[in-house]
């Protein structure tokens, strides 16, 4: 490459975008806000700015193209006509475009709002044109139900002033920029963090943000339908009905729902969510069982009362089959739940010094339909203290190795063998036995 004709493209997330610190004070009128933004941007150049500066210092010419939002390597491309490197995708044609182009067409919420801030600061664009472009963008996305565009539109809407003659408030844009990622990432179940969502949507924003999420193309997905209504209960108790309806319709089990349960929001609502009944809905049972497996005997009273009523209120070794409890709580044992609510049948006396309850033949660890193991039920979490340890299909050194754990890993212990030498554990959904002495 001729050093006088540099052509560089960065296919890296937000390389062409600037992060303005949330603590930046942007008070004052539009002109004052613009100057403060300009100062903040010049103080913190991004990678693309740095490289452009180096090119200029070297006396070279050429282009630096970089992503205004999240990017993957396959967004890198070469124009077949000019031979120039660029960044784009079918969904994000202006991923590597100018800030104004990304404000006009960009789909990633944080990237689009950052672009708006930089347009506001740009002397050639400024507050008035930025405001007009935001209004145009909001209008253009009004009918969209695409999650990316719904969150982008909603973020912009919240920043627009009520007066059609006023400029957008850069301080509000900056505020939303630093919170909108928590809204956007609810889209994917593995990145959804409802506690983070709850703390990043202000009460006054709820009537816009949550209905928009639920009306999107993804609004009926289990983790969104249940999760958004769960968080909504924090400010609107009437959303209890929608939350429970979403749980009823979901395919959640205890294992998959646990991640989406925010106890600080749900616990104050339990008396209304979980009335004691012998015929609980699937959602009520799921919620009660999930909390019961977390708290054991210390579970809240509404949870215990519902589960006792569902079990029939008398000593039993199983819940009524029609409730489907085993499938909801697998691999946790029904007996461990019944023990915690005081309805487990009288057990074989515990050997001296073992301190627990021995349940005869109560475990089918390998899923063959046979209860092959004696386990002293004592559900809890434990940390692996060995460098590396095998998880086996049976409580023996000859048992088939089904998993390997490392020092510091957390496993769910269901119980131990009679002598306490082996523990039955769940590690990421794989259930088997580990030597107890390596757990703490």
pLDDT of residue 385: 85
Instruction: Please compute the mean of the pLDDT values over residues 299-307 and round it to a whole number.
Output: 96
Q: What pLDDT score was predicted for residue 350?
A: 34
- Is the pLDDT at 59 greater than 90, yes or no? no
Q: If pLDDT is split at 50, 70 and 90, which confidence band does 208 have? A: very high
C-alpha separations of 138 from 20, 153, 219, 329 in Å = 23, 5, 20, 45
10 Å Cβ neighbour count for 321?
Answer: 8
Whether 320 shows a pLDDT value over 90: the answer reads: yes
Query: Higher model confidence: residue 121 or residue 360?
Result: 121
Query: How does the average pLDDT of the chain come out, rounded?
Result: 89
Q: What is the pairing mode between strands 5-10 and 61-66?
A: parallel
Please state the rounded mean pLDDT for residues 185-202: 96
Residue that wins the pLDDT comparison between 331 and 121: 121
Per residue in 272-291, pLDDT (tens digit) is 999 999 999 999 999 999 99
Q: Is the pLDDT score of 34 beyond 50? A: yes
pLDDT: which is higher, 214 or 43? 214
State the DSSP code for 388.
E
Burial group, residue 89, by CB count within 10 angstroms (0-12, 13-18, 19+): middle
pLDDT number for residue 360: 40
DSSP string, 194-225: HHHHHHHS-GGGHHHHHHHHHHSTTTTSHHHH
pLDDT at 371 over 70: no
Comparing 4 with 181, the larger pLDDT belongs to 181
User: Is it the case that residue 439 has pLDDT exceeding 90?
Assistant: no
Q: Across-strand partners of 10?
A: 66
Return the higher-pLDDT residue of 337 and 84: 337
pTM of the model: 0.75
Question: Which is nearest to 424 in space by CA: 410, 434, 409?
Answer: 434
Query: Residue 253: which residues within 8 A CB-CB, separation 6 or more?
Result: 286, 327, 328, 329, 330
Dist CA 20 CA 43 (whole Å): 10
- pLDDT at residue 351, as a whole number: 40
Q: Is 123 helix (H, G, I), strand (E, B) or coil?
A: coil
Q: What is the mean pLDDT of residues 166-195?
A: 96
At residue 256, does pLDDT exceed 60? yes
pLDDT at 299 > cutoff 70: yes
- Of 173 and 86, the one with more pLDDT: 173
Residue 35 has pLDDT above 90, yes or no: yes
Instruction: Give the model's pLDDT for residue 361.
Output: 42
- pLDDT of 249 above 50: yes
Q: pLDDT over 70 for what percent of the chain?
A: 91
Helix (H, G, I), strand (E, B) or coil at 316: coil
Angle at 65 between CA 64 and CA 69, to 5 degrees: 140
In terms of C-beta density within 10 A (0-12 exposed, 13-18 middle, 19 or more buried), how is residue 230 classed?
buried
The CA distance from 28 to 367, in Å, is 67
CA distance 282 to 306: 12
Number of C-beta neighbours around residue 409 at 10 A: 17
Structure tokens at 149: 């565009």
The more confidently predicted of residues 364 and 183 is 183
Give the model's confidence band at 363: pLDDT under 50 very low, under 70 low, under 90 confident, else very high: low
**Residue ranges of domains in the chain, CATH in brackets:** 5-141 (no CATH), 241-340 (no CATH), 357-438 (2.30.30.40)
Query: For residue 378, is pLDDT > 90?
Result: no
* Higher pLDDT pick, 62 / 335: 335
Least confident of 38-52, 334-348, 352-366, 368-382: 352-366
Q: Which helix (H) or strand (E) holds 112?
A: helix 109-121
Per-residue pLDDT tens for 380-428? 778 888 888 899 988 888 888 999 988 878 888 888 876 778 888 888 7
The yes-or-no verdict on residue 217 having pLDDT over 90 is yes
- pLDDT over threshold 70, residue 366: no
Tell me: the pLDDT tens digits for 130-157? 999 999 999 999 999 999 999 999 999 9
- Residue 270 binned pLDDT confidence (cut-offs 50, 70, 90): very high
Alpha carbon distance 328, 163 (integer Å): 52
* Average pLDDT over every residue of 171-195: 96
């Amino acid at each position: 490459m001729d050093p006088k004709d540099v052509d560089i493209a960065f296919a890296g997330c937000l390389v062409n975008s600037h992060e303005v610190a949330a603590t930046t004070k942007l008070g004052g009128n539009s002109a004052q806000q613009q100057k403060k933004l300009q100062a903040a941007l010049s103080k913190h150049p991004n990678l693309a700015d740095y490289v452009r500066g180096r090119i200029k210092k070297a006396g070279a010419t050429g282009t630096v193209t970089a992503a205004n939002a999240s990017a993957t390597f396959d967004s890198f491309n070469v124009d077949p006509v000019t031979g120039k490197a660029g960044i784009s995708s079918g969904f994000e044609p202006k991923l590597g475009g100018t800030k104004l182009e990304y404000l006009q067409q960009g789909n990633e919420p944080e990237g689009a709002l950052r672009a708006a801030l930089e347009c506001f600061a740009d002397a050639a664009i400024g507050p008035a044109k930025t405001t007009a472009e935001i209004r145009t963008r909001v209008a253009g996305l009004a009918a969209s139900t695409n999650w990316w565009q719904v969150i982008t539109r909603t973020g912009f809407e919240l920043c627009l002033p009520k007066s059609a003659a006023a400029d957008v408030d850069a301080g509000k844009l900056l505020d939303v920029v630093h919170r909108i990622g928590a809204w956007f990432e609810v889209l994917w179940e593995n990145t959804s963090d409802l506690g983070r969502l709850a703390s990043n949507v202000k009460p006054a924003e709820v009537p816009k943000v949550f209905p928009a999420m639920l009306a999107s193309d993804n609004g009926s997905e289990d983790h969104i339908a249940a999760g958004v209504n769960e968080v909504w209960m924090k400010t609107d108790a009437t959303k209890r009905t929608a939350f429970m309806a979403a749980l009823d319709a979901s395919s959640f089990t205890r294992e998959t729902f646990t991640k989406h349960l925010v106890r600080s929001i749900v616990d104050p609502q339990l008396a209304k969510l979980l009335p004691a009944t012998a015929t609980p809905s699937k959602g009520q049972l799921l919620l009660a069982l999930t909390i019961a497996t977390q708290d054991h005997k210390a579970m809240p009273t509404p949870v215990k009362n519902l589960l006792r009523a569902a079990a029939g209120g008398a000593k039993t070794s199983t819940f009524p089959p029609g409730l489907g409890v085993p499938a909801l709580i697998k691999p946790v044992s029904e007996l461990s739940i019944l023990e915690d609510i005081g309805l487990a049948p009288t057990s074989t006396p515990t050997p001296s010094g073992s301190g627990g309850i021995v349940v005869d033949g109560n475990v089918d660890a390998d899923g063959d339909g046979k209860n092959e193991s004696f386990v002293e039920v004592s559900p809890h979490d434990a940390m692996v203290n060995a460098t590396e340890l095998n998880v086996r299909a049976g409580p023996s050194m000859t048992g088939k190795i089904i998993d390997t754990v490392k020092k510091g890993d957390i496993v769910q212990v269901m119980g131990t063998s009679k002598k306490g030498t082996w523990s039955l554990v769940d590690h990421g959904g794989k259930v088997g036995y580990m030597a107890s002495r390596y757990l703490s």
